[in-house]
Amino acid sequence: MEHSILHTGKVLRQLTIGQLQNVPEAQMDIQPEGFRNTVRWNIGHIVYWFDKYASLSFGSPSAIPSHYETLFNSGTKPSDWTVIPPSKEELIGRLAEQLSRLAEWTPQMLEEKLPSPFEMGPFQFVTAGELFNFALIHEALHLGVLSSQLKLIK
């Protein structure tokens, strides 16, 4: 039986991919007033951190290029980019690959303790499931941001 967190992760990722598929490439880099980043940055940030959380939670090797860190890590912004960012199609491909990886994870893996607790500000995550659940909250937050950006762009 599938664990509810894993099911939620699959549904959320399908929503993210669905939202992005209808965005014209020309709108990926528009930065609406009041936002620090763009739709492309938010999607790349989701891809980057999902990969990072998967590595921390399940020991999965990174499956993204190393330059994603300089483009999409926390604190980065498109106005600082010195390399061409990935295309919309590449980002959709990365999201889809990560969705496929979700199918490999089991409920038992969620119960595993992390090698050491992961701390983020005042929060501490002890198990893979706790950290993975936070990864889903993080993705949903950025999906909301990019949805707001798209409303302003249109």
Separation of first and last alpha carbons in the chain: 42
Domain ranges of the chain: 4-153
The reported pLDDT for the residue numbered 149 is 96
Q: How confident is the model at residue 2 (pLDDT cuts 50, 70, 90)?
A: low
Q: What is the pTM of this model?
A: 0.94
d(CA 131, CA 119): 10
d(CA 133, CA 59): 16
Query: pLDDT at residue 134 above 80?
Result: yes
C-alpha pair distances (Å), 130 with each of 34, 67, 118, 144, 147: 32, 27, 10, 21, 26
CATH homologous superfamily for the domain 4-153? dinb family like domain (1.20.120.450)
Q: Dihedral sign, CA of 42, 46, 51, 55?
A: positive
d(CA 16, CA 43): 8
Q: What tokens does 48 get?
A: 């980057």
The reported pLDDT for the residue numbered 133 is 94
pLDDT in tens, 63-118: 999 999 999 999 999 999 999 999 999 999 999 999 999 888 999 999 999 999 99
